[in-house]
Every structure is written in C-alpha cells, then in structure tokens.
Amino acid sequence: MQKRDILTPIGITLGFIMIMLAIVEKDGRSGISLFFDVSSVFIVLGGIVASLLINFKNEQIKLARIVFKEAFYKNDQRLSDLIRLFVTLSERARREGILALENELEDVDDEFIRKGILLAVDGIEPEVINDIMNAEITAMEERHYKGRVILEKCGEYAPAWGMIGTLVGLVLMLSNLDDPASLGPNMAVALLTTLYGTVFANLFFVPMASKLENKTEEEVFLKQIIIEGVIGVQSGQNPRILEEKLSAFLSGEPLDDSADEDDPTVAEENIYET
Amino acid sequence: MQKRDILTPIGITLGFIMIMLAIVEKDGRSGISLFFDVSSVFIVLGGIVASLLINFKNEQIKLARIVFKEAFYKNDQRLSDLIRLFVTLSERARREGILALENELEDVDDEFIRKGILLAVDGIEPEVINDIMNAEITAMEERHYKGRVILEKCGEYAPAWGMIGTLVGLVLMLSNLDDPASLGPNMAVALLTTLYGTVFANLFFVPMASKLENKTEEEVFLKQIIIEGVIGVQSGQNPRILEEKLSAFLSGEPLDDSADEDDPTVAEENIYET
Amino acid sequence: MQKRDILTPIGITLGFIMIMLAIVEKDGRSGISLFFDVSSVFIVLGGIVASLLINFKNEQIKLARIVFKEAFYKNDQRLSDLIRLFVTLSERARREGILALENELEDVDDEFIRKGILLAVDGIEPEVINDIMNAEITAMEERHYKGRVILEKCGEYAPAWGMIGTLVGLVLMLSNLDDPASLGPNMAVALLTTLYGTVFANLFFVPMASKLENKTEEEVFLKQIIIEGVIGVQSGQNPRILEEKLSAFLSGEPLDDSADEDDPTVAEENIYET
Amino acid sequence: MQKRDILTPIGITLGFIMIMLAIVEKDGRSGISLFFDVSSVFIVLGGIVASLLINFKNEQIKLARIVFKEAFYKNDQRLSDLIRLFVTLSERARREGILALENELEDVDDEFIRKGILLAVDGIEPEVINDIMNAEITAMEERHYKGRVILEKCGEYAPAWGMIGTLVGLVLMLSNLDDPASLGPNMAVALLTTLYGTVFANLFFVPMASKLENKTEEEVFLKQIIIEGVIGVQSGQNPRILEEKLSAFLSGEPLDDSADEDDPTVAEENIYET
Amino acid sequence: MQKRDILTPIGITLGFIMIMLAIVEKDGRSGISLFFDVSSVFIVLGGIVASLLINFKNEQIKLARIVFKEAFYKNDQRLSDLIRLFVTLSERARREGILALENELEDVDDEFIRKGILLAVDGIEPEVINDIMNAEITAMEERHYKGRVILEKCGEYAPAWGMIGTLVGLVLMLSNLDDPASLGPNMAVALLTTLYGTVFANLFFVPMASKLENKTEEEVFLKQIIIEGVIGVQSGQNPRILEEKLSAFLSGEPLDDSADEDDPTVAEENIYET
C-alpha cells in the first residue's frame, strides 16, 4: 500500500544544495569545509537524543527509526480504485449473495477492507461493524501519533540544543580573548550549532512530522470511505447508488493522484470554483 | 463568481514602495542595489521549497500555484442578489409549482444553487437536502484548507530559512576577519536573508493565508444562506417571510459590498450600535 | 448607549509621557527630536497598511476607522437600570395586560429591548423569542469580531515591520562603514522602527483589541439578561421574583459602575469573599 | 475563610535576595546601587499602567489592588472539616427533620453552605438547588477571571515595556558616541528596563496570576462538594454513606492540608501509587 | 507496579557528556572549570524556587520532590498480563460463580483491579461500576496534573531566570569597562545563567514533564481496559470473547514491552501497515 515518495529525498537534497550554494557563492568551495564540525554535530544530535531518552519510554524511542523511514513513503491507495472495488463487490453480493464475497477476498490486499468484508459476511450488524472499524481507526491514529510526536519533540529540542552549543562556544571564546586572531573563527564555530539546530528542525523534523500528520489524515479519510463501502455492500445497496455516494467524497478527497492525472486542469480549476 | 481583487497587488506594491522609500531616503537611489542579492533570494526561496517538498505530497504542492493566484481574486456574490433570487424562485414556485423552477435554472450560474434547486425539484426531503449540501460545504472547507495550509507553512519556513542564510553568512564572515574593510558589507549581505524571510512572511504568506481563510468563511456563510433559501422555496414559504428570514443574516454578513454601498454611513454606524 | 471612555486617551498620553520622561531624564529636551523620524514612521505604518490590504477585503478595511474610534467609547448601560426597567414592565404587563407594553416602548432607547418587547407583545412563543434574540447576539459577536480582528492583525504586523525597517537600516549602515562617526547615529535611526513597532503594538493595537473584546463580552452578557427579562415579562412572572432572578446576575456582572459606585467597599470585598 | 499565605512574600524576598547575591558576589555591595534607576522603574511601570488603562474599563482596573492583595492569601477551608460538617447536618436532619437545620446555620460561616442549606430547608427541588448553586460557581469563576486577567496582561506588557525602555536607551546612547567612557554605563542603564520587565513578569505577574487560577480551581472544587453535601443532606441520605461519597473526592482533592498533615508519607506515596 | 526507568539517568548523563565533549574538544579539560559558577547556579535555581513559591500552595510544592523522583520510574504493567488475568477471572467466575472471585483477590496487587472486582462481587450494577471507576481515573489524572504542572512551570521559569542572571551580569560588566581584560571573562560568566536556564529547561523540566504526561496517558489507558475487563467478568462473558475484545486494544496500546519483545519485527512493521 506504500510507495516510495521521492519528494522527501529531493527536498532534503535541495535544502542542502541551497545551503552549499550560499556558501560557495560567497566563499568558493573552500568555504564548505568551515561548515563541518564534528563536535558541533555531536552536541546537537547528542543533546536531542539525551532529551528524547528522558522524554520517552524505551519502546517509543525504538519507533523513531521506523517513523523516520516512514517520511520517505507515501500512501498508494487511490480513491477511484476503492470505489471500483466496492462497486464490483456490491454487484457480486447482489447477484450471488453476501457469502460469495468470501471468495473475492483473495484479491484484496488491504487488511482493513478484508476485515470489513469478513465482518459483513459474518452477518454482524451494520452499527457494530461501524463501531469496530472506527475503533480500529482511532487505534491507528493513536499509534501514528505516538510515532509522530517523537519527530515533533525533536523539532523543539533541536533549536534548544543548537543554542546550548552556541552558548558553550561563546563562553569559551569570551574567556580566552588573548588571541584576537582566533576570535572570529571561534565565534564562527560557536554559531555552527545554532545553524545545525535550525536546519535540523526546519529541514527534517518539522516538515517530516507535518507530512506524517497529513498521511494519517489521508488514511483516516480513506478508511472512513471503506466503512461506508462495506456497509453499503452488506445492506445490498444498488451498485450505481453506492458509486454515486462514494464519489461524493471525491471533491473533498485528500488530493488523490487519480483525479488530477486523469484531467489535471479541470481538477485544479475546480478547487476554488465549486 | 470571482472578481479580481486589486487590493492584493496594491498591498504588495505599497509594501515594496515603503521599503524602497526607507532605503532611498537614507542612502539615495544607489542604495537599492545593495538589497538585491540573487543567492540570498535563492537560499530563502529554495529553502522554503525544500521544506515544502518534504512537508507535502506531490498533488498538494501542485495546488500552491492556484492557491497563490487565488489571493488575487475576491468573491463577487452579493447577499442582496441572493435574497432577490430566492424571493423570485419562491414566488414562481408558489404560482406554478416547484417543478417550474427547472426552467429558471438556466439563469443561475452558481453550481451550488443549481444543485440545491434540482434536489428540491426532485422532491428530496428537506433534512436530506440539508445534509447533502452541508456535506458539500464541509468538503469545500477541507479542500480550501489543504491549499491554504501551504501558505501558512511558507509563513513559518520563510523566517527560519532567512535565519539559516544569515547564520551561513555570519559563519563565513567570522572565519575571514583578515580584511576589515569587507566586514561590514559581508555582514550586510548576511542580514539580507533575514530581511527577505521576514518580508516574504509578513507581506506575502501570512496575510495571503489569512485572506484565503476569510474568503472561505465568507463562502461558507453564503452557502448556508443558500441552503436556507432552497429549503424555504421547497417548503412553499411565503416569499415575504423568506425575504425577512434571509435578511436577518444581513447584520452578521461578512461585510458584503451591497450594504455599505447603498448607504455606507448607516451601515458603518450600525456596526456597534445595534 | 455609549459614553466617551477617557481612560483610552489617558492611557495613550501616559504611555507617551513615560517615553518622553525616559528620554528627557537621560538626554535633556534636545533628545526628543532624535526620536522623530518621518521615514521610520512611514515604513512601519505603511508596511502595516500594506499587509492589511492583502489580508482583508475592501469592506472590512473600511471598518478600521470605526473600530479604532470605538476603543474611545464605553458601554453606558447599567445592569441596575435594566432590572428596574423590567420590573416596571412586568408590573404594567400584569396590571394591564401584555399589549399595554407597546405604549411603554416610546421610553425605551435600546433597540434590542424594543425588539424583544415587540416580539413578546406579538405573542411569539418564548423559545422562538429566545432563538431569534440569541441569533442577533451571535450576529453581533460575529460583526464585532470582524472589526476587532483588524486591530489584532495590526498588533502582529507592527513588530514585524519594525524589524524589517531595522534590518533595512542595518544593511545600509553596514554597507557604508567608511565614516565611523555616522555609525552610531545610523544604527540609532535603524532601531527606531523596532521601537515604533513595539510601541504601536503594545500601546495601541494589542490593548485596544483586548478592550473591544471585553466590551463585546459585556454587551453579550447584558443582552442575555435582556432576553431573560423579556421572557419573564411575557410569561407574567411576579415582578418581585423577576427582580430576584435578574439580580442573581449582579454578582457575576462585568463590573458595572452602579454596583461599586453605590457601595464600593462592599462590592470590592465581595469579589473574593462570596 | 482566608489565611495569610506566607509563601508569596517569602518567594518575592527570595527572588530579590537571589538577584542581590548575584550582584554582590560579582561586584561587592557597591554594585547594588547600579541597579536602581528611578526613571527606568517609571517607564516600565508607567508603561504597563498606560497599556492597562487602554485595555480595561475603570471598574476593572480598580480591582487590580484587591487582586494583587489576594495573591498573599490562601483558602483555609479543609475538605475533612467540610465532610464532618455535612455528616453532622445529615445526622440531625434524619433525627429531627430537615427544618431543624435552620438552627445549625448559626455555626456555619461559609455563605455558600448557608445558602445551600436554606434552599434545602425551603424544600426547593434538588435539581433546582443544583442549578442555582452551579450558577453561583460560574458567576464566581467569571468574577475571579476578570481580576486575574489584569495580572496576566501585566505579565505580557511588562517585558514589552522593558524592551521599549531599552530601545529608547540604545537610541540615545548610539546618537551620542562622542564620549566613549559613557558608552558602557549608558548601555548598562538601557538594559535595566529589560531586566525590570523580566523580573516583574516572572517574579510577580505570571506566578501570581497562576496562583489565583489555582485558588479559583480549588474553590470551585470545594463548592461542588458542598453542592453534593447539601443535596445528600436534603434527600435524607444515610450519614455514613454520605461520608463515604464525599470522601471519594479526597483522592483527587486539590492538595488539602489535612490529608498530608495527618499522615504525610502515606499521602505522598499515594499520589502515584493508586 | 513501578520499575526504575534507566533511560532518564542515561539521558541526563548523555546530555552532560555532550556538553563536556563540546567544551573539552575546544578548550581541553581546563575549560570545564569555566562552566561552574556557584552564584550563577544559585540565581537560576533560587529564582525558579522563588517563582514556584509564589505560584503554588505549600502542599503542592511539597509534591515537587516526589514528582521529580517519579520521572525515574516507569509503569511495569503489561497489557498481556492484564488480559491473561481477566481471562482467568472470567473462567473462574463462570465455573464457580462471581462470589468465588473474592478468593482470587489475594493474588492481585493492583488496587484498582481489586476495587473493581470487589464492586463486581458486591453485585453493583455495571453502569455504576463504570461511573465509580471512571471517577477514580479522573481523580488520578487531576492528581497527576497537579504534580506535573510544577515541572512545566519550572520549564518556563528556568530560561526567564537565566536571562535575568545574564542581564544582571551584563549591567555589571558594562558599568565597569575600565579594565578591558576582564571584559571577556565577565561577559562569559554573564552568559552562564542563560546556558544553565536553557539546559535545565531542555534537559530536565520539559522532557520530564512530557514523560510524566505520557505515563499518565498510559495508566489511563490500562485502567480503562481494567474497567472493560471487570464488567466483562461480572456479566459472565465468554472468556474467549473477553480475550478477543481486550486484545483489540493491543494495536492501539501505548507501546507495551510485551508486544515487541515477543516479536519485535512484526510489531514494528505493523505500526504503519495496518
């Protein structure tokens, strides 16, 4: 259900290129080496890790790696495919009975849809199906939040540790003013941690946390349509009406590919016209 | 339904004129060239784009252009015209029956009104009409939010990348203190990105995002009145009473032109008197 | 219903006197002229206007003048007068019937009370009166918000444009370090816009927006008591009981004059004792 | 019901001692005089007053004195005493009838309890008693908020006026760079207002506003238990059960003295164990 | 129910090591002594205590020590153990009747479960059990909040007092510019309080308050499952179904050890897949 999202690596690369350009344009290639300082990277990243260790439980911290990776993938479930699937299921259910859907399940990858269909086939009442599946959505939101909050906290701790590093550097520099020649370079190094903290926050943590939030919202949206579809199929709704009903969500859909790939201009114009 | 809003270009021009004046007044025309630095523009705009690429999906980023353009247009739907339309529709419906409204639809441009009238003509029950049309409003709000949030995020990333650019410039400057003569100009250039970031945020992104939010609120307001009107027409309400009822919204209306063009003084005085 | 509120001009004057004192005390009268710089005022005010033009519709910006003026007036409606009025109305209604109230209306200035009494005389049901009058309160809140939000936005844009002005000045100053003598004065001028932005925000926009918010809350409170009173009068409630009921609001009333003018000490002590 | 809270003066004194220590440790006693500058105190306090005059109505500003004083007192009503009182009342009501409670009232100081008992004795229905007494709580919360918000606003205006004072000082200093010897001391004086603003906000306004908020929450909590008690007494509940019921609140009670004076260790351990 | 959480001391140690590394790397071991300044520690910690004394009641401040200690412990209650317990209880209740559970209680440590079982054995109705136990949860949340808010306030006051200390140092330094040699070191010392304030806030107070909030959420989650379990046991639900029902919570569970210790890979992959 997930596809690599090349925008994330492109964005990160672009961010670094921009910074490089700013350096090279002013100081030539030699300038770039001024911006690498291992101990500065250490204090900022180490400090963030230190704050995270205090902030979270062991189990939640282990999530950090997965969450970080997650920002490089995007959902690949199209609303139009979903609608087509439910129209097919609905037609079969009306023709051969709801129990026939059990055979269709082999072609369905999505765990959430499978679960819904199985509940429908078992004859569970619609309200109960709705409750159970909504409970799953809530659990998913909670689970995603637990991962995302780590990135959000990183976005708060990064500038703080950048500032701590700079203060350490400034105190050292000011305590040894004997050598005026080293003054500038020392202060330059002191400022590096603030630079790192700001870049880490605004190029990694904040936009990644925001992306994961968008993805969760999108998944919740798709899952709610699945619930509608499952209940529609179970209640033997007319496939045509079911399609209409599910398509109503299209206008508010979280910018699914299909819509604007099929006819981008129309879709774009529609955003503010309707 | 949209009309160019000349205030946006006027505001942007005024903002730049103010900055120009501040420069020219202190340093003569020659000073202006000091404030153009391509690489500084690059790092700020490029950085914002980089953060956006990580923050949003491909489809949402494509919206940025439309959203940006949208800030140069305003809604051109007057509440008074709306009321007049519904009074006419109501009179005709009472005279010739609700089905006669289908012919009136040719003169109605607004998609939302057309949809409402068609639902009314089809004899759908008022609560259902209300539900369907409110669902459309919610979908519109959601859709607008997805566009506006890009501008809001730009307003956050702009000052951050301005600061990153300045830090890069400061580090470079401090590392090369050998030439005291270049110290001032180098620092001046370093500050430019902070200036750009602040101007971009406060002259473009923040007020534009805020304008789009106001526009969405206004549209929601108008659409809710349309729902009232459609249901009133369908239920065969007395045209006079319908007019009264819809006019009640006028006092709370989002500053529609009509009101203060007809009699600006009264309208203005009324704002706090009633 | 409105009375000049001399506290606003007193506050503004006091604020300026404080700043003057700070200047004169340190630098004599001659120092004051250092703090007037037309182009600095221009960039800050012009910049705020520029951002507002982008942020709001034409009709909303026109409100700015009225809203600004509004901060110099206060509500002059006393809760005790209101209660007395409703007791009188209630007595008359019980003696001569509800229709007799139509004659009393000539003495009532407040549009909101008049409307309520007319609805009561027309025999509209209490719940409907409640709905209609509460809708008016909501519309008033909405209308007031639309004006107040302009001041709130000014309070955000003022420091931002102050910073933009200072950055412009700093860049100019740093680019021309040849004349060391002009360094100090140039930087002094550069700082003026930050000073202006901070003073504008904290002496005008922020407290005025806050005052208007308080006034709106107060009006909402009084209007809700009027609704209680109108319904009480219509339902033929005992004037004595109506008075008791309305007086219950006195303890939570928004610091109406009457209470502490009549017996300030008691009222003050009561604030935390009851 | 109120007792002096010596923590507030101790805190203020401690804060000043800390600052004094920091000065004396570095600069000897002579340094302290550097930190008194009448005009700096004037601009900060005068500026805060100026902003408050614009921000609030006359009647609300008068509250400032009482509110300030209020931060030096604490509630002295113990939950355990309350429970004991209601057990006694309940026993008597069961023995001699609810009307007998009127005699008990002489020993009750608390206005709120008296009012509740009187309502109960008058035979008002429980739901009505609940409504009336909850309305009083809401009115109290509203009243307390109106006082507290002044302190909160002071906490916002104090740093702003500190910054304004510093900017004024910096502009003056930078305009007169002729005498290098006065540079340092002038800048030192300029920084004093920022220091004052920060100290005023963090040693007075912010913690005091926060304390008053805590006190209000505590009072609301106690008053809600009183309502439970009054209704329990009126409905002739078994004194033993009433005691059990009211004691259930003890675990969540706002850190009443009694609990941890009686057995501090247990209470403390319980905070996270249960 | 609590187990030492070694992550907190590890995090704190790591944070200090990072700062030490930054110092030693730039200035050798001798540099470390520059960062210890007793009076600077005093003004920051003393200032925080001063603000807390004003901010809180005596009883709440006493909690600080316990709350601080609490950040070094973690909950040790596994969801899987809970489910197993309730399956056992449910089986016994069905075999030997609900009263038989009273004997099982000896093996149950958790006070909350014991209370629930006792209520169930006493034959209290499910809704009442639900109400009573939820009231306990609310009381626990309230109690925890009262402790945590102290840490949160510390996180606000720490940087403020750091700034106050720096301002004091700067004023002293600027007033005595006679000895240029002492300028740097004096400013270095002045900056120390800002460094302390930032480190205290970001290495102690903010992450600890955040950890305590996570722990409270986790406990609330576990207690809600206990309520489900108790009611399930009382209503004689099939042990198999009860297990299924409680396991549904597992996917949304607050990252309990058991899940990813048993099969970490699966659990991790599941976080975004389901």
Q: What is the DSSP string of A242-267?
A: HHHHHHGGGGGSS--HHHHHHSHHHH
Q: Do B252 and C138 touch (CB under 8 A)?
A: yes
C12 against E179, higher pLDDT: C12
The average pLDDT across E87-109 equals 85
pLDDT at D1: 55
Estimate the crossing angle of helix E58-70 against helix E38-55, to 10 degrees: 120
Q: How far is CA E211 from CA C37, E8, E264, in A?
A: 52, 9, 23
Min Cα distance B99 → chain A (Å) is 24
C and B touching (3 or more beta-carbon pairs closer than 8 Å):
yes
pLDDT at D273 over 70: no
**What is the enclosing helix (H) or strand (E) of C133?**
helix C126-175
With beta carbons under 8 A apart, name residues in chain C contacting D42: 18, 21-22
pLDDT tens digit sequence for B46-87: 999 999 999 998 888 888 888 888 888 887 777 888 888 999
Average pLDDT, chain D: 84
Residue written as token pair 């600069």: D27
D198 → closest Cβ in E140, E160, E186: E160
Residues B136 and A274: their CA atoms lie apart, in Å, by 9
Q: Within an 8 Å CB–CB cutoff, is residue B73 touching chain C?
A: no
Q: How far is CA D256 from CA A43, D264, E52, in A?
A: 44, 11, 18
pLDDT at E41 over 60: yes
Q: Within an 8 Å CB–CB cutoff, is residue D177 touching chain C?
A: yes
> Nearest 5 degrees, angle CA D94-CA D98-CA D101?
105
For residue D172, give the nearest of E167, C44, C192 by alpha carbon.
C192
pLDDT at D176 over 90: no
Q: What is the DSSP string of D96-151?
A: H-GGGHHHHGGG---HHHHHHHHHHHTT--HHHHHHHHHHHHHHHHHHHHHHHHHH
Six token digits for residue B64: 């940025």
Average pLDDT, chain C: 84
E24 against E271, higher pLDDT: E24
What three-state secondary structure class fits C176?
A: coil
Min Cα distance B207 → chain A (Å) is 19
pLDDT at C41: 92
pLDDT at E21 over 50: yes
Q: Give me the phi and psi of A84, to 5 degrees please.
A: -60, -45
pLDDT tens digit sequence for C34-74: 899 888 998 999 999 999 999 998 888 888 888 888 888 88
Q: Do B207 and C61 touch (CB under 8 A)?
A: no
For residue A209, give the nearest of A8, A29, A20 by alpha carbon.
A8
Considering only the C-alpha atoms of chain C, give the largest distance between any 2 of them, rounded to a whole number of Å: 91
Six token digits for residue D74: 């604490």
Bridge partners of residue D75, in order along the sequence: D2
Q: Do A185 and B175 touch (CB under 8 A)?
A: yes
pLDDT at A30: 80
High-pLDDT (> 70) share of chain B, %: 91
Q: Do C1 and B273 touch (CB under 8 A)?
A: yes
pLDDT at A128: 86
DSSP state of C35: G
High-pLDDT (> 70) share of chain A, %: 91
D171 → closest Cβ in C8, C11, C34: C34
C211 → closest Cβ in D40, D56, D174: D56
pLDDT at A52: 94
pLDDT at D253 over 80: no
The average pLDDT across E184-209 equals 93
The average pLDDT across B250-271 equals 43
Give contacts of B 234-253 with C, CB under 8 A.
Answer: 248-249, 251-252
Q: How far is CA C59 from CA A171, C219, D49, in A?
A: 55, 24, 34
Query: D: neighbours with 3+ CB pairs under 8 Å?
Result: C, E
pLDDT at A272: 56
pLDDT at E260: 38
- pLDDT-based confidence at residue D251 (cuts at 50, 70, 90): low
pLDDT at D268: 43
| Contact (Cβ atoms closer than 8 angstroms) between residue C161 and residue B202 | yes
For residue E169, give the nearest of E185, E153, E158, E145 by alpha carbon.
E185
Min Cα distance E127 → chain A (Å) is 20
Residues C48 and C161: their CA atoms lie apart, in Å, by 7
Q: Do B214 and C168 touch (CB under 8 A)?
A: no
Residue written as token pair 């180490």: A46
Distance of CA C12 to the CA centre of its chain: 15
A271 against E20, higher pLDDT: E20
Poorest-pLDDT segment among B245-249, C187-191, E89-93: B245-249
pLDDT tens digit sequence for A93-132: 888 888 888 887 887 888 889 989 988 888 888 888 898 8
E266 against B202, higher pLDDT: B202
With beta carbons under 8 A apart, name residues in chain D contacting E153: 207, 210
Residues A103 and A119: their CA atoms lie apart, in Å, by 14
Cβ pairs bridging C and D (under 8 Å): 178
pLDDT at E30 over 70: yes
The average pLDDT across D101-123 equals 85
Q: Within an 8 Å CB–CB cutoff, is residue E226 touching chain D?
A: no
pLDDT at A91 over 60: yes
Alpha-carbon torsion (A49, A53, A56, A57), positive or negative? positive
Residues D129 and D235: their CA atoms lie apart, in Å, by 12
pLDDT at C249: 72
**What is the enclosing helix (H) or strand (E) of D189?**
helix D180-199
pLDDT tens digit sequence for E235-251: 888 888 888 778 777 66
pLDDT at C28: 78
Q: Do C184 and D175 touch (CB under 8 A)?
A: yes
Residues A99 and A104: their CA atoms lie apart, in Å, by 10
What three-state secondary structure class fits A125?
A: coil
Bridge partners of residue C4, in order along the sequence: C73
E and B touching (3 or more beta-carbon pairs closer than 8 Å):
no
pLDDT at C253 over 50: no
| Integer Rg of chain A from CA | 26
Residues A268 and B104: their CA atoms lie apart, in Å, by 29
According to DSSP, the β-strands at C2-4 and E2-4 are unpaired
A181 against A155, higher pLDDT: A155
Min Cα distance A183 → chain E (Å) is 11
pTM value is 0.88
- pLDDT-based confidence at residue A15 (cuts at 50, 70, 90): very high
Six token digits for residue E170: 């700067």
Chosen for mutation from D18, D182, D183 (greatest number of chain E CBs closer than 10 Å) is D18
Q: How far is CA A86 from CA A81, A127, A229, in A?
A: 9, 19, 6
With beta carbons under 8 A apart, name residues in chain C contacting D70: 272
The average pLDDT across C69-85 equals 84
pLDDT at D59: 82
How many other C-beta atoms are found inside a 10 Å radius of the C-beta of residue B269?
Answer: 12
**What is the enclosing helix (H) or strand (E) of D58?**
helix D58-70
- pLDDT-based confidence at residue E101 (cuts at 50, 70, 90): confident
A51 → closest Cβ in E11, E195, E264: E11
Give contacts of E 9-48 with D, CB under 8 A.
Answer: 39-40, 42-43, 46-47
Bridge partners of residue E73, in order along the sequence: E4
pLDDT at C258 over 50: no
b/e per residue D20-58 (b: at least 16 CB within 10 A): bbbbeebbeeebeebbebebbebbbbbbbbbbbbbbbbe
For residue A231, give the nearest of A154, A126, A146, A148 by alpha carbon.
A126
> Nearest 5 degrees, angle CA C159-CA C164-CA C165?
95
pLDDT at B272: 55
The average pLDDT across E138-150 equals 89
Bridge partners of residue A75, in order along the sequence: A2
The one-letter amino acid code at A243 reads: E
Poorest-pLDDT segment among B144-148, D76-80, D221-225: D76-80
DSSP state of E254: S
Q: Within an 8 Å CB–CB cutoff, is residue D169 touching chain C?
A: yes
For residue E176, give the nearest of E185, E60, D243, C249 by alpha carbon.
E185
Bridge partners of residue C74, in order along the sequence: C3
Model ipTM value: 0.84
Min Cα distance D234 → chain E (Å) is 22
Q: Within an 8 Å CB–CB cutoff, is residue D138 touching chain C?
A: yes
Six token digits for residue A223: 């899952």
- pLDDT-based confidence at residue E262 (cuts at 50, 70, 90): very low
pLDDT at C127 over 70: yes
Residue written as token pair 């626990």: E140
pLDDT at C271: 53
**What is the enclosing helix (H) or strand (E) of A273?**
helix A264-273
Distance of CA A196 to the CA centre of its chain: 23
Residues E217 and E214: their CA atoms lie apart, in Å, by 5
Min Cα distance A32 → chain E (Å) is 20
Poorest-pLDDT segment among D70-74, E1-5, E124-128, E130-134: E1-5
Six token digits for residue A166: 């700079």
CA-nearest residue of chain C to B8? C54
Left if phi > 0, otherwise alpha if psi is -120 to 50, otherwise beta: which for C4? beta
Residues A230 and A116: their CA atoms lie apart, in Å, by 6
Q: Do E251 and A140 touch (CB under 8 A)?
A: yes
With beta carbons under 8 A apart, name residues in chain B contacting C60: 214, 255
Residues C11 and D48: their CA atoms lie apart, in Å, by 10
pLDDT at E271: 53
Six token digits for residue C64: 């700015």
Q: Do E18 and A47 touch (CB under 8 A)?
A: yes
pLDDT tens digit sequence for A200-248: 999 999 999 999 999 999 899 899 889 989 998 888 888 888 887 788 7
For residue E208, give the nearest of E134, E132, E144 by alpha carbon.
E144
Residue written as token pair 């506003």: D209
Six token digits for residue A97: 């009975």
Q: Where are the alpha helices (DSSP H) in C28-125?
A: 38-55, 58-70, 79-96, 101-104, 111-121
Q: Give me the phi and psi of D226, to 5 degrees please.
A: -60, -45
Residues B236 and B98: their CA atoms lie apart, in Å, by 8
pLDDT tens digit sequence for C164-194: 999 999 999 888 877 777 888 889 989 999 9
pLDDT tens digit sequence for E224-238: 889 989 998 888 888
Bridge partners of residue B4, in order along the sequence: B73
Burial (CB count within 10 angstroms: exposed 0-12, middle 13-18, buried 19+), residue A220: middle
pLDDT at E164: 96
Q: How far is CA B60 from CA A248, A255, A260, A270, B265, in A?
A: 20, 6, 11, 14, 44
